[in-house]
Amino acid sequence: MDEMLLTVMAYDRFVAICHPLHYSVIMNPRLCGFLVLVSFGFSLLESQLHNLIALQSIYFEDMDISNFFCDPSQILSLSCSDILTKDIVMYFVGVVYGFLPLLGTFFSYYKIVSSILRIPSLGSKYKAFSTCGSHLSIVCLFYGTAIGVYLSSDQLSFTRKGVVSSVMYTVVTPMLNPFVYSLSNRDIRSSLRRLHGRTV
């Protein structure tokens, strides 16, 4: 679900920067609700697909997954049944739920950067880039760690480095998301400065 929501947020940034006068018309509450429901529906479909494949597979007995949660890629890597079906499903899910949302995010930022470069004022360019900085940092953190987990070898995914990467993209990124976006709010920043001034 995170990758779909990050793509929806990239689209929101695209509309805010490339079509600022039409933002409230385009990003109306109906469209926002629809985009959240589509993200939820895609994530539900992905989890059911993983469950279906995991239930159809045959596993060795007494196997331990040395991780804090059962990641679908790690469960399917323990399967001793049809490897071809497992690989097809993993690549299909990787393309649909990994590559396509990332492609949508890249396309949105391609349009954003091309629009920002046409702005003559340096201050306006900085302001436009700063509104995208928080989202880009979350995208890089999420996709960097997720790609590290899913494209690493099976042995690496069971190591401590694999566990840390899993925690980063499943726990830390969703927790950081509201905090990073709230830092772009002027009231929050002024409150944090006042709080810092009191403690110092």
pLDDT in tens, 155-189: 444 566 666 767 776 777 777 777 766 666 666 66
Residue 30: predicted pLDDT: 93
Q: How far is 194 from 185, CA to CA, in rounded Å?
A: 15
Domain count, the chain: 1
pTM, entire model: 0.72
- d(Cα 57, Cα 94) in Å, to the nearest integer? 19
Q: What residue numbers bound the domain in which 121 lies?
A: 2-199
Span 73-99, pLDDT tens digits: 666 666 666 667 667 777 777 777 778
How many Å apart are CA 67 and CA 131, to the nearest integer?
36
Sign of CA dihedral 100, 116, 136, 188: negative
